[in-house]
Structure 1
Amino acid sequence: MRLDQQSTISTCFITTNHIYTILPLTIFRLTYPHISHLQNSITTLLIFVSITVSTVNCRRHVSDGSDVTYAAINCRKHTAFLTDFGGVGDGKTSNTAVFRSAIQNLSQFENDGGSQLIVPPGKWLTGSFNLTSHFTLFIQFGAVVLASQDEGEYPLIEPLPSYGAGRDGPGGRFSSLIGGSHLTDVVITGDNGTIDGQGSIWWDKFHQKKLKNTRPYLIEPMYSNQIQISNLTLVNSPSWFVHPVYSSDIIIQDLTILAPVDSPNTDGIDPDSCKNVKIQDVFIVSGDDCIAVKSGWDEYGIKFGMPTEQAIIRRLTCISPDSAVIALGSEMSGGIKNIRAEDITAINSESGVRIKTGPGRGAYVTDIFVDKMTLHTMKYVFWTTGAYGQHPDPGYDPKALPKIDRINYRNVVADDVQMAGNMGGIEGDPFTGFCLSNVTIGLSDKPKKVQWNCTDVSGVSSNVTPEPCDALVDKGSIECEYPSDPVPIDTVQMQTCSFSTQKVLM
Structure 2
Amino acid sequence: MIKKQQHINIIIYITILMMWMGVCALKAQEPARPVIQQVSFPKDTLRITEFGAKGDGQYLNTEAINKAITTISEKGGGVIVVPEGLWLTGPIEMKNNVNLHVQRDAILLFTDDFDTYKLVESNWEGEPAWRNQNPISGKNLENIAITGAGVIDGNGGAWRMVKRDKMTDSQWKKLVASGGVVDEAGKIWYPSESSLRGATTQNAGKGHAGQTAADFMDVKDFLRPNLLVFTSCKRILLEGVTILNSPAWNIHPLMCEDLTVRNLNVRNPWYGQNGDGLDIESCKNVLVENSTFDVGDDAICIKSGRDKSGRDRGMPTENVIIRNNIVYHGHGGFVIGSEMSGGAKNIWVEDCSFLGTDIGLRFKTTRGRGGVVENIFINNINMVGIPGEAILFDMYYGLKGPLPKAGGQGDAVAEIPPVTEETPRFQNFVIRDINVNGAEKGVFFRGLPEMSIKNIMIERVNIVAKKGVELIEASNIVVKDLTLKTAETDPLIHVDNSKNIVFTDLKPGDDIDLLVHVSGAQTEKVVLTGAKIEGVKEISTFSNGASKKALVIK
* TM-score bin (small chain): 0.7 to 0.9
Partner of 1:465: 483
Unmatched tracts of structure 1, length 5 or more: 1-71, 167-171, 391-396, 479-506
1:126-150 Cα distance to aligned partner (Å, 9 max, x none):
1112111111100001100001111
Matched, 1:236 2:245: yes
Partner of 1:173: 131
Q: How many angstroms apart in 2 are the aligned matches of 1:332 and 1:109?
A: 40
Shift of 1:452: 2.1
1:360-382 Cα distance to aligned partner (Å, 9 max, x none):
11111101110001000112111
1:195-232 Cα distance to aligned partner (Å, 9 max, x none):
01111111137853534353121211111000000001
Q: Is the 8 A contact 2:375 2:428 kept in 1?
A: yes
Q: Is the 8 A contact 2:231 2:254 kept in 1?
A: yes
Q: How many angstroms apart in 1 are the aligned matches of 2:155 and 2:392?
A: 32
SS at match of 1:349: coil
Q: Is the 8 A contact 1:79 1:118 kept in 2?
A: yes
Are the structure 2 counterparts of residues 423 and 207 from structure 1 closer, same or farther at C-alpha, using a change threshold of 3 Å?
Answer: farther
1:385-423 Cα distance to aligned partner (Å, 9 max, x none):
111249xxxxxx995101211011100000012211121
Matched, 1:331 2:294: no
Shift of 1:84: 0.2
What is the one-letter code of the residue matched to 1:476? T
SS at match of 1:271: strand
Matched, 1:418 2:456: no
Q: How many angstroms apart in 2 are the aligned matches of 1:305 and 1:161?
A: 17
Partner of 1:117: 80
- Say which of 259, 264, 267 aligns to 1:255: 264
What is the one-letter code of the residue matched to 1:122? G
TM-score by length of 1: 0.73
Q: Is the 8 A contact 2:470 2:493 kept in 1?
A: no
Are the structure 2 counterparts of residues 215 and 421 from structure 1 closer, same or farther at C-alpha, using a change threshold of 3 Å?
Answer: same
Partner of 1:85: 51
Shift of 1:164: 3.3
Matched, 1:407 2:429: yes
Shift of 1:79: 1.1
What is the one-letter code of the residue matched to 2:303? K
Matched, 1:155 2:118: yes
Q: How many angstroms apart in 2 are the aligned matches of 1:409 and 1:207?
A: 41
Are the structure 2 counterparts of residues 162 and 264 from structure 1 closer, same or farther at C-alpha, using a change threshold of 3 Å?
Answer: closer
Q: Is the 8 A contact 2:481 2:505 kept in 1?
A: yes
SS at match of 2:241: strand
What is the one-letter code of the residue matched to 1:455? I
TM-score by length of 2: 0.67
Are the structure 2 counterparts of residues 235 and 163 from structure 1 closer, same or farther at C-alpha, using a change threshold of 3 Å?
Answer: closer
Partner of 1:11: none
- Say which of 461, 465, 472 aligns to 1:455: 472
1:50-82 Cα distance to aligned partner (Å, 9 max, x none):
xxxxxxxxxxxxxxxxxxxxxx83132311100
Matched, 1:429 2:451: yes
In the alignment of these two chains, the number of paired residues is 386
Q: How many angstroms apart in 1 are the aligned matches of 2:419 and 2:64?
A: 49
Q: Is the 8 A contact 1:128 1:177 kept in 2?
A: yes
SS at match of 2:251: coil
Q: Is the 8 A contact 1:359 1:398 kept in 2?
A: no
Partner of 1:184: 142
What is the one-letter code of the residue matched to 2:431? Y
Matched, 1:105 2:59: no
Q: Is the 8 A contact 2:299 2:327 kept in 1?
A: yes
Q: Is the 8 A contact 2:289 2:324 kept in 1?
A: yes
Greater RCO (CA < 8 Å, at least 6 residues apart): 1
Q: How many angstroms apart in 2 are the aligned matches of 1:316 and 1:416?
A: 20
SS at match of 2:334: strand
Q: Is the 8 A contact 1:422 1:452 kept in 2?
A: yes
After superposition, residues 36-435 of structure 1 pair within 5 angstroms as 73-110=39-76, 114-160=77-123, 163-166=126-129, 172-190=130-148, 192-204=149-161, 208=190, 210=196, 211=198, 212=219, 213-320=222-329, 323-378=331-386, 379-389=388-398, 399=420, 400-435=422-457
Partner of 1:32: none
SS at match of 2:104: coil
What is the one-letter code of the residue matched to 2:360? G
Are the structure 2 counterparts of residues 343 and 468 from structure 1 closer, same or farther at C-alpha, using a change threshold of 3 Å?
Answer: farther
Unmatched tracts of structure 2, length 5 or more: 1-37, 163-187, 199-218, 400-417, 485-491, 507-554
Shift of 1:155: 2.0
Shift of 1:159: 3.1
1:443-488 Cα distance to aligned partner (Å, 9 max, x none):
2xxx24xx2221112211101122655557335379xxxxxxxxxx
Are the structure 2 counterparts of residues 382 and 199 from structure 1 closer, same or farther at C-alpha, using a change threshold of 3 Å?
Answer: same
What is the one-letter code of the residue matched to 1:411? D
Are the structure 2 counterparts of residues 159 and 271 from structure 1 closer, same or farther at C-alpha, using a change threshold of 3 Å?
Answer: same
Q: How many angstroms apart in 1 are the aligned matches of 2:285 and 2:362?
A: 21
SS at match of 1:415: strand
What is the one-letter code of the residue matched to 2:448? I
Partner of 1:504: none
Q: How many angstroms apart in 2 are the aligned matches of 1:398 and 1:473?
A: 23
CA RMSD of aligned residues (A): 2.1
Q: How many angstroms apart in 1 are the aligned matches of 2:431 and 2:90?
A: 42
Q: Is the 8 A contact 2:445 2:453 kept in 1?
A: no
What is the one-letter code of the residue matched to 2:65? F
Q: Is the 8 A contact 1:187 1:228 kept in 2?
A: yes
